[in-house]
Amino acid sequence: MTDDSGPTADDAISGLSRNDPLAAVSPLDGRYAGRTAALSPYAGEAALMRARTRVEVEYLLALGALGATPIGFDEATATALREVYADFSAEDARLIKALETEGAAGYDATNHDVKAVEYFLRVRLADVAEDPDAPLDDAASLYPWIHFGLTSEDVNNLAHRLLVGPAVREVIVPAVREVRDTLAELAQEYRDTPMLARTHGQPATPTTFGKEMAVYAARLGRALGRVVVANEDLSGKLAGASGTFAAHRAAYPDVDWRAFSASFVRDLDLEHTALATQVNPCDDLAALFDALRGVNNVLLDLDVDAWLYVSDRYLGQEAVEGETGSSTMPHKVNPIDFENSEGNLSKANGDLTFLADYVTSSRLQRDLSDSTVKRNVGAVLAHCLIGYSKAADGLSKVVPNEAVMREELDATPEVIGEAVQTILRREGDTEAYERVKALSRGRSVTLDDFRELFADLDVDDAVRAELQALTPAGYTGVADELVDEIDGAGDSPNE
């Protein structure tokens, strides 16, 4: 018998509006809305509308400054025009959406998001002209010059980069830097704390907890540096429908449109892409996405290692008052922050790989399949941001359990075998490796077993004393000194 009592697609949970985070389709705007809110000014549709408006206004002003066109703007008019995007409001965003989907202000529905911005500018210019204190007398005379000679991609590719660049610079980079700085602090604080290392999962030459955190801090610094460089290299295109300036040249053949385009794009603080089809090739975005994957790969490695250290009790976790670790086992404090970070960064990396591959492809001179894909860039950055913040949360709660680390080192004396055979090699013992192998491989040995071996060796007393002084906890090389190498690894912790 079928149970028909459940909700259907037409049902709504009573009392929940579509804008309630509890009704969100994506956890990015629902469960994790608090963690992703910092990206909203760069990733929301209203933000894209505002960025498009900025491009259109600045382009109109640049046309006015050419001298070849019959339009021009004094400083007061330019200021009034820039206020259209500088003071962009929720009402403005709703008007653009209405112009696109249902028609508004005397215009039919455009069913085209960029054309809706063009009509929005007409409406706002008319509003400015109606203001008795405004410097603009005839708004209609400017209508033909809005979006003059442009294709939508000229506006969109610039608008996307005007959002992605600041999002990475102002939100993503600081979040990664916070994790890197925390790792650097852990490295310094625990630079002398000895810890058993494992290679192939087996006990290996000891290290220090601080040195292992320094490895991650250094790797993250270098990876972050690559993100910063890629973000600074974002490049914009403005060249018309097929990248040839054909419409511009037809209207004003004597204008150097190539120089105009380069100057205009660079004034937006973007590099200039001179050769393009209708679309920006997006190799710059692909490089940024690949650089972000590099950051995420470092942190995924960290998340897994931190999880294993918690499992091995090398790391304890500070319990949060009132928090539930397990619904059935009251004693548990789960490493959920590292697990959450791992899941979100894995999701982000899958999407970053897809984006980097997809946005660099276009059928002939243009197809629109990339348009909907690019709308997901903000979501990818959101998964990254959740991953970074969760890793930071996890690191803020862990406390190295030095007693457990020391106990395991003391219980694994065979790790000094490397030091023993190396010292004996120095003394000319051609059977040094085999001697230690026979004593320790596949066997449970103690320090006393090693000392019996040392007593039977034909070596100077000074060498014998050197061997007898070896302990697992003391066999960490220059691990503590290596912590200082963080300062030379890419993005500085003190920036």
- Catalytic residue numbers, as ranges: 200, 326
Number of Cβ within 10 Å of residue 90's Cβ equals 8
Number of Cβ within 10 Å of residue 466's Cβ equals 16
User: What's the CA gap between 420 and 437, in Å, rounded?
Assistant: 11
The alpha-helical segments, DSSP class H, found in 318-376 are 336-358, 369-374
User: Which of helix, strand or coil describes residue 286?
Assistant: helix
Nearest to 161 by CA among 316, 19, 288, 345: 288
Number of Cβ within 10 Å of residue 474's Cβ equals 12
> Which regions of 129-240 does DSSP assign to beta strands (E)?
194-199, 202-208, 235-236
Number of Cβ within 10 Å of residue 345's Cβ equals 28
User: What's the CA gap between 28 and 387, in Å, rounded?
Assistant: 12
User: Which of helix, strand or coil describes residue 196?
Assistant: strand
Nearest to 280 by CA among 148, 152, 154, 113: 154
Radius of gyration of the chain measured on its C-alpha atoms: 31
